[in-house]
Structure 1
């Protein structure tokens, strides 16, 4: 195999023609451009040198004056940059910087709210894509500013939250960047992201391992004010969550944020961001864990020391703002002693007295909380001498003060009434608190808040606990008028209606209060409350009814003006209101007439003495019919027996004169004027009672023995029943045939009917006084027996039969039943009347005075049921 030799030089016979290559190439072109439109056209060039030159000229044009940015907008520079995707793909970093600078300058001079959401989303999409791929520090700075601007729109911000890759880099930039502008815009963007998130989303976002919370805390002491303020805004948002599961769960981080905040404040207590630092620190101290660290690590002492050093040169507004920290820590009772020793009480009082017309809300809140410490409370009460209480009263009365401060002032007065009642209540009365309360309540809703009105009502309740003060409040009629008027306007707020009724229950013992309430539509308010859909309101109003049935004027109003009617008709809608039934019974127990008409029964505790009792022979299915008869000037078709022991002569005002042309013509001489009366006089009933007492005295049965005066004397009960029955029989046996119990023959009812008809002609009405009835069967006799029994204190009922034609009486007697502890004489003897149960029926017709056990043959025969 032969070896081939390689030559070092080989001669060439052909050479390239350089002249032709130069002819084909494009030589350099220099053109003078003075038109912005032409320059913008050159942005489509792919030559880096051209782009750099054009961008350099445009940026110089932009920096000359702010109006030039508007010129660029008119030439659609923003749209052009977006079309070119802000030159993301440009390899030259200067081109990317120029493009980002221009778009940020354009957006800084554009109201993003005027842009279409689609356009803003497009800007954000390009910026996010740029941000993910960019590493240049200046480009990151511009992009952070661009993202921060786009996040002003909550809809756009939601898109960033859902972009996990972008957030990861975003948080990494915050944690590592040394560029102040980048840090500022990034922290601002974090704040905007937090604002659009719910509690759970925020917790999930901040609990990620790469969330730069420590960097944000660190920036609280940054040398740039803008960065400090941005970090404080983020921390304030995060510190609102005081739960255990938050970004501040670790103790070291809690201490770190407290330390940074205290350090930032102590470095410059009068700095431009001092107020913001205090607000964030106050927010942090709402957490018990933070407060504990604040005191254990002597940060509290550090703040107090700097505050005392600067207190003489600090402005009043700043000094009182700083105190908001202590208003939060005063929430925890274990630190109150330490705070009082540090003169925090005096600082709060100083802010209260020096601010005119009122201090910030948290000053009064802090005093309210400090009052839980005895020494602090004594110091506050001592301040009364220089007008502290007068200042609080003027604050809640003044409409110029913000409503939250007025609420705290009223609540603080309530707290003082609890802790120092004598000093506070006495001074309040000296300050004419009824007039102040009247003027304040008169401002009405919506000028007053619900919480403020509730506090004012509690003040009235507290003062009303003292009889002397309650009298003064009651005599101030305008106060009661305003409360009644407020009630009529408050039915949109069930809690307010509930408290108004509760307040009225406190002062309703005063006669003037009752008069004013009845004059100011309290009845219509009660009707509306009873028909409310709120069980709270219905419970409050029925409780008010229970409290006011002690007074006769309210009983009359409840019956005559329809309250009882509403209670009866709406019972099925009040199954969750436990006081609805008792309210009905409370009214009926004070009006035996209506109770017997409705229930057809009067129990042992339904006493007829001291009031009129109307009993109709007709049984009414609807009590309102009988109510109309009593209320209207008309006469029923059946006799109505009237019982009253106290009216010996009829009142002239009750007499109704019949016109002369209605009087039948009579041949007899004399005065033929007629009159009738629904409340007739009854001179005979007192005589019957006198006769009964004489009989009881004769047998030694006037009253129970002294040793059991409040109990039942069962040994003498049967004897007393016998005597009462005999008195009744002696009165009402005129022209009546004596019958036997076993007889099936009825008593002479026609005799009784004719007798009542005769009495009707005598009185010109069917309203007949019971004492004038001389012929009576079971019906009339049972009424008189009940009336006399109530007068001498004998437990007795009055029952109407199912058909309504017969009345009968029942009494409680111990039955000899084996192992029946409820009917044992010793047990029953000490029972209250309310707990007794009827056991025997009283015979008033046949074997007068005999007692028949219920359900026995004799009892059934007496009732004509056997």
Structure 2
């Protein structure tokens, strides 16, 4: 037996190597050991690498550089469970390092890690495999890969694991995944809401908080909110708010509740269960500032739905929100103001808030810019289409701080304040008070803002307040027209539209209208209206309004005046102006000696001085100019009169002859009742005044050019009052006919043709009461008083050479 044993010992020594204890302090050597075919060596190497990697990120990076990742990623699929477990432990720890993440992504290790989440694997493998995924899933490409590899389902399954670390790691991975919208829908499809709600009962606060954050993310999806409601998860969340020992979870719980309250079904549910009253009470009495702010935010989110607004109103939310404006906390005040803004979309709530408008006005002077902006926004909503609330703001002494805030550095504050003032301007008494505080001057700055929102609101405010001459004058003196005209060039539709509307309103004032002409408003509006994408109804209205303020420019540019264009004081005809050229004002044209002008001044003058004379070769001193000047200087001393002389507005010469023509034609036309007779008599009067009828073949004998030259020499001015013209051509007679027709109430248009041809078109309404009206061209030249149908051969012949 002994020999036999000796032979067995000798045989063992020949076939096998005695066990060898290997120790190494070199990481590279240990990494090489991962390639060993012996399980014991691999296990010891994995254990050593695990301990080494746990010491810090630097060691993890070193292991990656030494090539440890490739054998480790291979070993996690090893058929031996201890080896597999040791390898995945290393992988879970080492994947926390950023460089390691990049290597692992290139190695496509995700499918192998997901396989380790299967139920048959042990808890340790689940723990470190989920840990690895929690680190890697922060990368967008990895999220997509996990979803595509069906990794979400086993992760949801691990939420029910008995091991808290497995739950936490799986939950972190799910949280990362649901940042992508598609993953949120998949959670609901895989029935992941129930295990998430179960985790709220965990003994570990970190798991509870992470669960609430995950729920807050996925409940942005309507289907998820529905699933949460069906599982009575909302009830549990409300209960959490009432638990003082869970105060650290209240903020996150309120985030989930805020999402859920967007649904009217959820709102009705918590109303029926009494949970809504608890939530509102919580918003009013919560001791932690952040929690109270989240509770108010939950009300804000709920108010986004129109039906929810009614429910909140029925529960008296207005009083709660106004009460929250008092606490000395900027975040709570800001959120409360935003909630008030949204609730004002409900008319009943808007009326209720009007009773407590004073706190909002007081917040306009708050030290925090965010609070000012939110308060101004709330006041904007409060005063929209509500006269009583606008008056309440006025009574709360809100006008002065509102006007002052137009100079605030925050763009949002300025925009919302401009909107509030615009809303209040609908009341005459309020508008007057706001104007008295210098609002027109204050609006000049906002018009020059870099913010398109501020520009838009400021332009709209200008249109609201520039409705009287004093306001327009203040705005003009302050330089506001420069900024307003500049806004017409804006590429922002809303800014351009509101600027056009403001120009339309300001053009009601002649000095303002002329100033906008000088600033190039006319050219800009013409360019806008030629563009199919930039023009709008407001730009067209603004252009027409500018023309109404100066029909001379309209006639010069477009060669025509409609029957609704009434020639008034100061009309002049500088002739046709080429496209792209500016029409100079009469004052400037008077200095251009080479230009012949036809000038017409109003006949509405009580008396004319008998000693008309030229002053400096261009201005005539008349009874009208003397009277205007005397009104300016009445009650002033000599020094004041001297200053007025320096600043005296240029006045064009008065056309006394035209004044006499108006009186004569009025006496002639007034007794006539038939429109045709009135037109014929007026045509004959005009022709007789300007040289009588002229045969077509004898037009060259009229010598009208010589006559005009003689008048220029006589007057020592290139401005020729139309009343002095005794030999008039087509253009002169048509202009005089239009001017006189406008004064005696005959609807008449004026059109300019080529080669000094102009003509008038009238419509005789009583002749065709039941058919389409037929317009007529009036003959003022060859057969005065003859009416020719438009486009008839004789009319075309009259209009052309």
Task: Classify the TM-score, shorter chain.
Answer: 0.7 to 0.9
Of residues 333, 337, 354 in structure 2, which corresponds to 1:364? Answer: 337
2:717 is paired with a residue of what secondary structure? coil
Shift of 1:382: 4.0
Question: Which residue in the other structure is 1:668 paired with?
Answer: none
TM-score, length of structure 1 as denominator length = 0.76
Structure 1 residues 797 and 650, CA, compared in 2 at 3 Å: closer, same or farther? farther
What is the distance in 1 between the residues matched to 2:778 and 2:401?
Answer: 60
> Structure 1's 157 and 70: CA in aligned 2 closer, same or farther, altered over 3 A?
same
| 1:585 corresponds to | 544
- Kindly tell me the number of residue pairs found equivalent between the two proteins: 762
| CA shift in 2, pair 1:292/1:745, >3 Å | same
Q: 1:289 aligns with which of 260, 265, 287?
A: 265
User: What residue is the counterpart of 2:71 in the other structure?
Assistant: 83
Does 2:308 match 1:324? no
Answer whether contact 1:728 1:781 (CA < 8 A) is retained.
yes
* Alignment pair present for 1:227 and 2:207: yes
2-side partners of 1:45 and 1:612: how far apart?
107
Contact 2:390 2:424 in 1 (8 A): no
User: For residues 5-16 of structure 1, what are the structure 2 equivalents within 5 Å?
Assistant: none
Partner SS, residue 822 of structure 1: coil
Tell me how far apart the structure 2 counterparts of residues 687 and 560 of structure 1 sit (CA, whole Å).
34
The question of 1:425 aligning with 2:425 is answered no
Cα distance, 1:138 vs structure 2: 2.0
Deviates more, 1:547-556 or 1:277-286: 547-556
Q: CA RMSD in A?
A: 4.3
Q: Which residue of 2 aligns with 1:745?
A: 698
- Determine whether 1:812 maps to 2:763: yes
- Correspondence for 1:144: 130
Task: Give SS of 2:674's match.
Answer: helix
> Which residue does 1:277 correspond to in 2?
253
Residues of 1 paired with 2:532 and 2:139: CA distance? 51
Instruction: Give yes or no for contact 2:730–2:756 (8 Å, CA) kept in 1.
Output: no
Task: Output one character per residue of 1:591-649: Cα deviation in whole Å (capped at 9) or x when no partner.
Answer: 2322222233333222223x122235x65545837638863564455632211135746
Aligned: 1:643 with 2:593: no
Q: Secondary structure at the match of 2:411?
A: coil
Tell me by how many angstroms 1:163 deviates.
1.6
Secondary structure, counterpart of 2:557 in structure 1: helix
In structure 2, distance between residues paired with 1:35 and 1:131: 34
Q: How does 1:334-345 map to 2 (within 5 A)?
A: 334=307, 339=312, 342=315, 344-345=317-318
Q: Deviations over 1:398-444 (max 9, x none)?
A: 5x343xx555422321232247633543434653534444435441x
Map of 1:787 onto structure 2: 739
Please list every run of 5 or more consecutive structure 2 residues that lacks an aligned counterpart in the other structure.
619-649
Quick one: which of 757, 762, 767 aligns to 2:714? 762
Summarize deviations over 1:513-563 as a string: whole Å, max 9, x none: 423443455555455444444555444443333333321123212333322
Distance 1:365 1:519 in 2: 38
- Tell me the distance in 1 between the aligned counterparts of 2:242 and 2:493: 55
Residue 90 of structure 1 and its aligned partner are, at CA, apart by 6.3
2:774 is equivalent to residue 821 of structure 1: no
Residue number in structure 2 paired with 1:515:
473
Distance change >3 Å, CA 86–CA 654, structure 1 → 2: farther
Residue 275 of structure 1: CA displacement? 0.7
Distance 2:750 2:730 in 1: 11
Cα pair distance change 1:114/1:641, threshold 3 Å: same
Retained in 2: the 8 A contact 1:597–1:623? no
Which of 138, 158, 168 in structure 2 is aligned with 1:173?
Answer: 158
TM-score (structure 2 length as normaliser): 0.81
Are 2:561 and 1:602 equivalent residues in the alignment? Answer: yes
Alignment partners' CA distance in 1, 2:39 and 2:590: 111
Q: Could you say which residue in structure 1 is the equivalent of 2:631?
A: none
The answer on 1:773 being equivalent to 2:725 is yes
Kindly name which structure, 1 or 2, has the bigger radius of gyration based on alpha carbons: 1
Q: Assess, with a 3 A threshold, how the Cα gap between structure 1 residues 206 and 32 changes in structure 2: closer, same or farther.
A: closer
Change (3 A) 1:793 1:18: closer
What is aligned with 2:149? 163
Counterpart in the other structure of 1:256? 232
Q: Does the C-alpha gap of structure 1 residues 545 and 94 become closer, same or farther in structure 2, counting only changes over 3 Å?
A: same
Measure the CA separation in 2 of the matches of 1:327 and 1:535.
31
The residue that corresponds to 2:623 in the other structure is none
Are the aligned partners of 1:475 and 1:513 in contact in 2 as well (CA < 8 Å)?
Answer: no
Say which of 383, 406, 413 aligns to 2:379. 413
- Mapping for residues 175-574 of structure 1, pairs under 5 Å: 176-195=160-179, 197=180, 199=181, 201-202=182-183, 205-208=186-189, 210-242=190-222, 246-250=223-227, 254-268=230-244, 271-301=247-277, 303=279, 307=282, 314-334=287-307, 339=312, 342=315, 344-357=317-330, 359=332, 361-371=334-344, 380-384=353-357, 387-395=358-366, 398=367, 400-402=368-370, 406-418=372-384, 421-428=387-394, 430-443=396-409, 447-449=410-412, 453-477=414-438, 479-490=439-450, 493=452, 497-519=455-477, 522-525=480-483, 527-569=485-527, 571-574=529-532
SS in 2 for 1:353: coil
Distance in 1 (CA, whole Å) between partners of 2:340 and 2:245 is 23
Q: Is the 8 A contact 1:839 1:854 kept in 2?
A: yes
Question: More deviation in 753-762 or 580-589?
Answer: 580-589
Structure 1 segments unaligned to the other structure (5+ residues): 1-12, 659-676, 702-714, 824-836
Q: Aligned with 1:295: secondary structure? A: helix
- How far apart are residue 179 of structure 1 and its match? 1.3
